[in-house]
Amino acid sequence: MDIKYPNGKSFIRNQNKTKQNKITKKKASYSNRGMQLEEMINESNEFYLTQDICVVHKKPTPITVVSVDYSRRASTRINEAYYQTPSTLDYSGVYKSKHLDFDAKETNNKTSFPLSNFHQHQIEHMERVKKHGGICFAIFYFKTLDKIFLLDAEVIIEYWKNQSNGGRKSIPIQVFNDKGNEIKIGYRPAIDYIKIVDKLYF
Amino acid sequence: MDIKYPNGKSFIRNQNKTKQNKITKKKASYSNRGMQLEEMINESNEFYLTQDICVVHKKPTPITVVSVDYSRRASTRINEAYYQTPSTLDYSGVYKSKHLDFDAKETNNKTSFPLSNFHQHQIEHMERVKKHGGICFAIFYFKTLDKIFLLDAEVIIEYWKNQSNGGRKSIPIQVFNDKGNEIKIGYRPAIDYIKIVDKLYF
């Protein structure tokens, strides 16, 4: 089956196909396939879209275009551009008429998630979305532990703010166990976050 | 006041400042300042954000990055990239907990709006958002007529589908007068679309 990202790009499961196939035969688990969190969420969103469950897309990465070549007939070529720091979150969409807004984060840490992975603007965005009644959270992938958690934005905002009052610079794994919701990696969808959203917000 | 776009870029009202000032003195109307619809909507969204009315951002333009130079220390330079055809709409966000999704379109036409300004994927996206209870519409700027209308996605979808059944390839201005809602250009916000959203969807 030809799976495509929302941007129309073909989804390639793994560049190293031979290695890939061997592993898949051993154990049909996403965690062993070396998939990145973003890929798994994109695939899940594609599944939700085709199953008519919700409409969630990854926002394009913000890029500042500096120089463009308009002389080409077929397509305008961008010759110089730079990545911007995102001021919102990666994913947004609609579920049961509510606005969904969330981010996806990965870490190799085993004991906590470093807050340096967030930007001030993203935290402000989370606060605003929550205030206006949107559903806002982040999905965290502790790669070494092979554990995925959904954590409501409120907890993230709380830890972010405590930093400047001499608080920790990271969210301990215990907080994810206590206040977060673990998502077991599945087949389709890989990351069934809507199940948690249903439980937490409806 | 330093107004910034959601992407952090400074908002420059008009490159030709001298001409700009002269016109502003004559008549404090946006329509005479040669502002593009997108600029006016971005400015309005910024206003809504600071006034804590709603959280709406323009999505970054989707770009396919082909070649990147990682050797530079300061910032990664993109050397080759291309614009993609958008598969969703330009703007999205949250208002009174509901998901908002809309596009902004301009035309020099006086009698109708050409449907060729939309893409198949955008229409499909509109259908999905409506189906899942999101608020979905487009804001049309008839530049020659100096008129702005908000038109619900349902009407756009209807005209799009009728095309293939031998229907018109454009939406007549009469439809905007009858089924749309005119938005008078104001000062702050320039385009007070939330007023119409309140009237139509709440």
Q: Write down the ipTM of this complex.
A: 0.81
pLDDT at A34: 57
What percentage of chain A exceeds 90 in pLDDT?
75
Q: Helices A153-163 and A120-131 meet at what angle, rounded to 10?
A: 140
Evaluated on CA atoms A24, A26, A29, A30, the torsion sign reads negative
Average pLDDT over residues A52-61: 96
CA angle B140, B146, B147 (to 5 degrees): 45
Task: Work out the angle at residue A196's Cα, subtended by the Cα atoms of residues A108 and A20, and round it to the nearest 5 degrees.
Answer: 45
State yes or no: pLDDT of A124 exceeds 90: yes
At the top level of CATH, the class of B17-201 is alpha beta
Q: Do the Cβ atoms of A77 and B79 come within 8 Å?
A: no
Mutate to test the interface with A, among B52, B55, B198 (most CBs of A within 10 A): B55
The per-residue pLDDT for B10 is 55
The pair of three-digit structure tokens given for residue A147, joined into one six-digit string: 């554990």
Chain B residues with CB under 8 Å of A59 CB are 59-60
> CATH classification of A17-59+86-201, choosing from 3.40.1350.10, 3.40.640.10, 3.30.70.270, 2.40.50.140?
3.40.1350.10
pLDDT, one tens digit for every residue, chain B (202 residues): 455 555 555 555 544 444 444 433 333 444 444 579 999 999 999 999 999 999 999 999 999 999 998 887 677 899 999 999 888 999 999 999 999 999 999 999 999 999 999 999 999 999 999 999 999 999 999 999 999 999 999 999 999 999 989 999 999 999 999 999 999 999 999 999 999 999 999 9
**Chain CA centroid to CA A96, Å:** 20
**Chain A contact set for B55 (CB, 8 A):** 125, 128-129, 132, 134
Within 10 angstroms of residue A199's Cβ, the number of other Cβ atoms is 10
B99 touches B92 (CB < 8 A): yes
pLDDT of residue B5: 56
User: How far, in Å, CA of B157 to CA of B127, rounded?
Assistant: 7
User: What gap in Å lies between CA A55 and CA A89, rounded to an integer?
Assistant: 16
Tokens 């305008």, located at residue: A76
Chain A positions in Cβ-Cβ contact with residue B58 (cut-off 8 Å): none
Residue B170 host element (H or E): strand B170-172
Residue A144 has pLDDT above 70, yes or no: yes
Candidates B175, B41, B171, B161; CA nearest to B117 is: B171
Residues 6 or more apart whose CB falls under 8 angstroms from that of B96 comprise A132, A133, B54, B202
What residues are paired with A135 via a beta bridge?
Answer: A100
Residue A130, pLDDT score:
98
Size of interface A-B (CB pairs under 8 A): 136
Q: Of A35-49, A62-76, A106-120, B87-101, which range is least confident?
A: A62-76
